[in-house]
Amino acid sequence: MQSTYQNQQWFYVKRPDGRVSNEHYELRATELDGNLSANEVILRARIVSVDPYIRIQQHERNTYDVPHPLGIVQRAGVVGEVVASASPLFKAGDWVSAYSGWQLYARCHHSELTKLDPAAAPVSTALGVLGMPGRTAWFGLTEAGRPRPGDTLLVSGAAGAVGSLVAQFGKRAGCRVIGIAGGPGKCRFLTETLKLDGAVDYRAHATPAALSAAIQSATGGVDIYFDNVGGTITDAVIPLIKRRARIIICGAISQYDGGLDTPDLGPRFLQHMLFQRATIQGILARDFAHRMDEMLAIVAPWVKSGEIVFQETYVDGFAQLPEALNSLFEGKNIGKLLVRV
């Protein structure tokens, strides 16, 4: 068994108040001791997931979590290969997913790993459609959205990892689905590739009133609003809700790169909740972690048969991780953003 591994690790060292840069992360070359205890494996990361929640955890106040500590490896989901094993459950060459963070090699206890079957689905899907984003989309829509055939479902961040799945799950539930996304290319992806009923390019409207008018004209009113972005887009949507609308707060990415500790205060809209007897519900992926198999039993066959489109955007290179994180806030990805390392 190899005794040491030449490792690379990104340490999170300073809390950002805007985009992340070299002052917030340090790339360190380290050595990993490869002497394994019983039930440990060495994992070589191959694909690292880049997710907006990384920015939520970087804020200095508690959110749904305590703040990510400074001075440790940036936490993140990865897919990788077992390269050495002292576990009866895993052997070298096995593909697994784990939460081992921004590092090339990690020594993991086997209880931290989930085995993947590359013959069943591309291993990258464990970080997207068949992983946390898929679970969020599935349970967020079905449990909090309670879609019914004929409902108008509006999804913000609709061309992203979670949004593109919510939109497709909504179509399968018989909803009329309209997506909001930034730019004509993403809007074409929504209508031509995902076959949504309409798309609104939020960047094409200079004022919240103009955006609201465009959303009204595309939707005719909203039964379910699945919100991934918050901020002014959500302000533009709330006055358009219909009777007994369900508003699902999945994310507020417009607020993460600086605004979570000092949030933007938008128009007060709660009167519309009263007028329409509507509900707002926050949903969190981890609350459904114990129901992962239930989601996989339904969604994995759709992925295998090609009935669900799972788009992925790849960035190449371990050194690119902080920039890849920033690119989420510049809308550079369609579908799930992943870094090949």
Site residues for ligand NAP per CB under 6 A: 51-53, 133, 136, 157, 159-163, 181-182, 186, 228-229, 233, 250-254, 283-285, 328-329, 331, 333, 337
Residue 132 Cβ vs ligand NAP, minimum distance, rounded to whole Å: 6
> Is 90 or 169 the residue whose CB approaches ligand NAP more closely?
169
> Is 96 or 229 the residue whose CB approaches ligand NAP more closely?
229
Question: Are the C-beta atoms of 235 and 266 separated by less than 8 Å?
Answer: yes
> Is 81 or 143 the residue whose CB approaches ligand NAP more closely?
143
Question: Are the C-beta atoms of 94 and 108 separated by less than 8 Å?
Answer: no
Task: State how far the Cα of 203 lies from the Cα of 180, in Å rounded to an integer.
Answer: 10
Q: Which candidate, 14, 16, 59, places its Cα nearest to that of 261?
A: 59
> Is 9 or 164 the residue whose CB approaches ligand NAP more closely?
164
Nearest-5° angle of CA 293, CA 303, CA 42?
60
Residue 232 Cβ vs ligand NAP, minimum distance, rounded to whole Å: 8
Task: State how far the Cα of 175 lies from the Cα of 309, in Å rounded to an integer.
Answer: 17
Burial of 10 (0-12, 13-18, 19+ CB in 10 A): buried
Residue 341 Cβ vs ligand NAP, minimum distance, rounded to whole Å: 19
Classified as helix, coil or strand, 201 is strand
> Is 85 or 228 the residue whose CB approaches ligand NAP more closely?
228
> Is 24 or 186 the residue whose CB approaches ligand NAP more closely?
186
> Is 100 or 164 the residue whose CB approaches ligand NAP more closely?
164
Task: State how far the Cα of 324 lies from the Cα of 262, in Å rounded to an integer.
Answer: 24
Q: Which long-range contacts (C-beta less than 8 Å, at least 24 apart) are formed by 14-20?
A: 14/70, 15/58, 15/59, 15/60, 15/67, 15/70, 16/58, 16/257, 16/258, 17/258, 18/257, 18/258, 19/257, 19/326, 19/329, 20/58, 20/322, 20/325, 20/326
Residue 317 Cβ vs ligand NAP, minimum distance, rounded to whole Å: 19
Q: Which residues are bridge partners to 162 per DSSP?
A: none
Residue 326 Cβ vs ligand NAP, minimum distance, rounded to whole Å: 10
Burial of 339 (0-12, 13-18, 19+ CB in 10 A): buried
Task: Provide the Cα torsion 199, 202, 207, 211; round to 10°.
Answer: 20
> Is 47 or 159 the residue whose CB approaches ligand NAP more closely?
159
Residue 64 Cβ vs ligand NAP, minimum distance, rounded to whole Å: 8
Residue 157 Cβ vs ligand NAP, minimum distance, rounded to whole Å: 4
Residue 59 Cβ vs ligand NAP, minimum distance, rounded to whole Å: 12
Tokens (6 digits) for 39: 């039930």
